[in-house]
């Protein structure tokens, strides 16, 4: 669970570091912050990262709730900032010299900046739009990576093709959503009902065809799949007949990979 949280944090933070105004940035920020803080809180104060539901299930706290935990346990080091002191024991480290202090591995949590970011992103979190995320918010998010339970950002940064493709896909989804809005519901409905006509007529050809998949933008089963993902799950690249969204092969492979990982977790 901790690894998964750290990875989610690292991937989302890497996207925002490249482009903090990417469509849906508020949602990406929230996902990064919630997972990052949950990993930190679970490491520092185990159990306090979640609450117990009526049915006995544990549910991860929202980012604001996790920041409250941090505020309960740590005093302000400077106004608006709480610091998790470096507790790692380093033995065998060469002397730093009489006049030099050893390097600090304290973790700075800019609580006020992060709370402000949540305020800014909340109203647009589930809608389209870029929100009002500022570079200072993303900087505060990135500082969390110093914590021993995270430290995933450099790994995520190295996967720069993945980061670029995530950003490209977010802009592509926004473009298609704008187009969908332009054509209106009646036209979308008409196109969706005719989507099947884009499949081959001959039964033999149809058998080999990748068919139609549900489109993540318009939700119609109208995404004409034209190539196959690496795992052969039918999440290939293609174009939506209704809203014109183009799912790239890279995005398709990534989704197939996520699906495989999720399935693996369930199997375990
Ligand atoms: Zn669509």
Ligand 1 centroid vs 182 CA: distance in angstroms?
13
Q: Could you tell me the distance, in angstroms and rounded to a whole number, from the CA of residue 125 to the centre of ligand 1?
A: 21
169 vs 175: CA distance, rounded Å: 10
**What is the rounded distance in angstroms from the CA atom of residue 6 to the CA atom of residue 62?**
16
Let me know if 52 is exposed, middle or buried by CB neighbors in 10 A (0-12, 13-18, 19+).
exposed
Entry pTM: 0.82
The token duo for 79 is 């106004």
Q: What pLDDT is recorded for position 97?
A: 58
Q: How far apart are CA 191 and CA 196, in angstroms?
A: 10
State residue 193's pLDDT score.
Answer: 95
pLDDT (tens, 9 = 90+) of the chain, 268 residues, equals 889 999 999 999 999 999 999 998 999 999 999 999 999 999 999 999 999 888 888 899 999 999 999 999 999 989 999 999 887 655 555 555 555 666 667 899 999 999 999 988 876 544 554 458 999 999 999 999 999 999 999 888 888 889 999 999 999 999 999 999 999 999 999 999 998 888 887 777 777 778 899 999 999 999 999 888 777 777 789 999 999 999 998 888 888 877 777 777 655 5
Cα of 188 vs centre of ligand 1, distance in Å, is: 9
> What per-residue confidence (pLDDT) applies to 126?
47
Kindly give the distance from the C-alpha atom of residue 230 to the centroid of ligand 1, in angstroms, as a whole number: 22
Query: For residues 2 and 27, is the Cβ–Cβ distance under 8 A?
Result: no
Rounded to the nearest 10 degrees, how much is the dihedral formed by the CA atoms of 49, 26, 248, 243?
Answer: 120
Sign of the CA dihedral with 120 first, then 126, 130, and 134 last: positive
- Between the CA atoms of 112, 114, 116 and 117, what dihedral angle is there, to the nearest 10 degrees? 170
Q: Which of 180, 183, 163 is nearest to 220 (CA)?
A: 180
Q: How far is the CA of 212 from the centre of ligand 1 (A)?
A: 11
**Distance between Cα 143 and ligand 1 center (Å):** 38
CA of 246 to the centre of ligand 1 (A): 9
Q: Which residues of 8-18 are buried (b: 16+ CB within 10 A; e: fewer)?
A: bbbbbbbbbbe
Contacts of 157 (CB under 8 A, 6+ apart): 14, 17, 163
Distance 253 CA to ligand 1 centre (A): 18
Q: Residue 96: its pLDDT value, please?
A: 55
pLDDT of residue 257: 79
105 CA distance to ligand 1 centroid (A)? 47
Per residue in 184-214, is it b (16+ CB within 10 Å) or e — as a string? eeeebeebbeebeeeeeeeeeeeeeebbbbe
Ligand 1 centroid distance, CA of 32 (Å): 27
Distance 171 CA to ligand 1 centre (A): 14
Distance 18 CA to ligand 1 centre (A): 27
Q: How far is CA 202 from CA 89, 142, 192, 257, in A?
A: 70, 54, 21, 32
Distance (Å) from CA 10 to ligand 1 centroid:
29
């Amino acid at each position: 669970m901790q690894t998964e949280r750290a990875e989610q944090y690292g991937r989302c933070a890497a996207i925002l570091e490249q482009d903090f105004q990417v469509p849906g940035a508020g949602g990406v920020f929230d996902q990064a912050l919630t997972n990052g803080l949950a990993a930190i809180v679970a490491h520092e104060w185990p159990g306090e990262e979640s609450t117990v539901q009526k049915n006995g299930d544990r549910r991860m706290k929202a980012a604001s709730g996790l920041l409250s935990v941090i505020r309960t346990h740590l005093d302000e080091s400077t106004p608006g900032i709480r610091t998790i002191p470096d507790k790692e024991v380093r033995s065998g480290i060469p002397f730093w010299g009489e006049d030099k202090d050893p390097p600090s591995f304290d973790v700075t949590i800019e609580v006020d900046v992060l709370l402000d970011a949540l305020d800014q992103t909340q109203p647009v979190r589930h809608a389209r739009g870029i929100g009002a995320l500022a570079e200072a918010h993303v900087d505060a998010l990135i500082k969390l990576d110093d914590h021993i339970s995270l430290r995933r950002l450099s790994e995520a940064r190295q996967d720069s093709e993945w980061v670029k493709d995530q950003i490209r896909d977010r802009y592509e989804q926004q473009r298609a959503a704008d187009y969908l809005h332009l054509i209106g519901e009646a036209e979308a409905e008409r196109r969706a009902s005719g989507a099947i006509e884009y499949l081959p007529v001959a039964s033999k050809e149809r058998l080999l065809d990748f068919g139609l998949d549900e489109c993540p933008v318009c939700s119609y089963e109208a995404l004409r799949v034209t190539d196959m993902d690496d795992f052969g799950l039918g999440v290939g690249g293609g174009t939506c007949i209704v809203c014109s969204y183009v799912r790239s092969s890279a995005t398709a492979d990534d989704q197939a990979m996520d699906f495989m990982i999720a399935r693996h977790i369930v199997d375990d």
